[in-house]
Amino acid sequence: MPEKLVNIKEVTLKNNCPECYSKEGLHLTFKQKITENKFFKSITSDITNELFCKMCNSVIYPVQWTDDIDRVVDYQKKAFAPKKPSTYLKKLSWIVIITIAVVIAAVIFAVLYSNL
């Protein structure tokens, strides 16, 4: 089942990068996991975030965060509104469901009318 992370929100932070000390390169990205196959597409409640510096092209892991970065990230997490978890049935699912329902109805009618 292919799963992918979709960018939901990207925020530019004005904090200093712990790697290159630039004040212009930090970007916080929120991603939400989406699972998809032939039958359905599901938006999950799994949210991840990534802090990336575009000046030095490096991922800033939580171990490297300063107290200021930690506070800003916590604030952005509270202000972030993810997509609601949901599941959408695709066309193939509806075809299978309707086909099964028709077969069950045909069997029931066949059993009922064979006793008459």
Q: Could you tell me the residue ranges of all domains in the chain?
A: 3-90
Asked if 94 and 88 count as a contact pair (C-beta separation under 8 A), the reply is: no
Helix/strand/coil for 38: coil
**In the prediction, which pLDDT does 103 show?**
96
Residues of the chain with pLDDT under 50: none
The token pair at 93 is 């699912």
Q: What is the pTM of this model?
A: 0.73
Dist. CA 77–CA 27, nearest whole Å: 14
Dist. CA 31–CA 106, nearest whole Å: 47
Half-sphere exposure of 95 (CA within 13 A, CB side): 6
**In the prediction, which pLDDT does 115 show?**
67
Helix/strand/coil for 8: strand
**In the prediction, which pLDDT does 111 show?**
87
